[in-house]
Amino acid sequence: MKITLLGTGSPLPALKRASSSYLVEAGGDVILVDHGPGAFQRLMEAGKRALDVSHVFLSHLHFDHCADLIRLFHHRWDASGDATPPLRIHGPPGTQEFIDRVFGPQGAFSRDLESRTRHPLSVGAYRERGGTPPRPWPDTRVTELAGPGVVEFPGWRILRCEVPHYQPFLDSFAYRIECGGRSFVYTSDVNLALPGGAPPQLVELARGADLLVHYLNAFAFEADHPGGLAGPRFAAALARDAQVKTMVTTHHGPWIDGGGRPEKLLAEIRAACPARVVWGEDLMAFEL
């Protein structure tokens, strides 16, 4: 199993970081976990085409985790022929509505799709790719997930648990992918479980993980904002309690990215947990 960090940034734009996205190659499949702004460019830089991607799992529907799914979905469809399997999208409640509002018959891109399925130039290009007219609209079916669970695929499986993050306005999942006896865990964005500390279900999901990609976007919110965004103490406690082997930080905003702050945060985490701790950067890759 190989994991490539496509986007390690925050909602704020940054030249060196795309927003959240993680490329997982497992069991012959190419899987994306989240696909925020800028991540599609990173996907190409990682040597993958849109047509290579088989599955997408969204953690939640904040724009910095899903905006480039629009580009991926459209480009993959527009490069496909009759034999191309549809992109399999999984996400929390609201994911189907999100896709329909962009690519459905009354969606934001309905004029674009109408022209590409009916204009002779587009139909001709579709025929050259092996398609048989009339050209169909994209398959917009989505698998919406609810609560904790597991989805099995040939050679790999993905487990999930709910994590606290802006409920009740949206639902948010952490994911664990297992393949060949190895495991990768992604916390997604996570708020503290009141009165503080890692949610027990997240500790169990992360237990014994070979690689934990952990949200780190704050300094001392644990002490100052009960229920607020997780910071270094939370990250250290989760890695320690779950006995993970390597933890990689992600979701870095400009306020913690540079000026000696990464080194300070890493030192604080390393002092409190025995795991190997890495400051995540775009296109960093890990072979498990």
Token pair belonging to 23? 């490329």
C-alpha angle 205/209/213, rounded to 5°?
Answer: 85
Which residues have a Cβ under 8 Å from the Cβ of 118 and sit 6 or more positions away? 135
C-alpha–C-alpha distance, residues 211 and 275, integer Å: 10
Question: What is the greatest pairwise CA distance in the chain?
Answer: 64
Domain with 166 in it:
2-287
Contact by Cβ (8 Å): 20, 64: yes
Q: How many helices (H) and strands (E) does the chain have?
A: 9, 14
Going through 163-206 in order, the beta strands assigned E by DSSP cover: 173-179, 182-186
pLDDT, mean of each 10-residue run, the chain (288 residues): 98 96 98 99 99 98 98 97 94 98 97 97 94 94 97 98 92 98 97 68 98 84 53 89 98 90 92 96 99
Tell which phi-psi region holds residue 34, choosing left (phi > 0), alpha (psi between -120 and 50) or beta.
left
Number of domains in the chain: 1
For residue 267, how many other CB atoms are within 10 A of its CB?
Answer: 12
The continuous run of DSSP H or E covering 45 comes out as helix 39-45
- Beta partners for 22? 5, 33
C-alpha–C-alpha distance, residues 17 and 29, integer Å: 25
Burial of 111 (0-12, 13-18, 19+ CB in 10 A): exposed
Predicted TM-score of the model (pTM): 0.95
Residue reference for tokens 């913690």: 256
C-alpha–C-alpha distance, residues 9 and 21, integer Å: 9
DSSP 3-state percent helix, strand, coil across the chain (nearest 5) = 30, 25, 45
Token pair belonging to 62? 């904040």
Give pLDDT, residue 219. 64
Give pLDDT, residue 229. 66
The continuous run of DSSP H or E covering 103 comes out as helix 95-103
Domain of residue 138, CATH code: 3.60.15.10
Token pair belonging to 25? 């190659």
Closest CA to 2 of 279, 256, 286, 207: 286
Give pLDDT, residue 52. 98
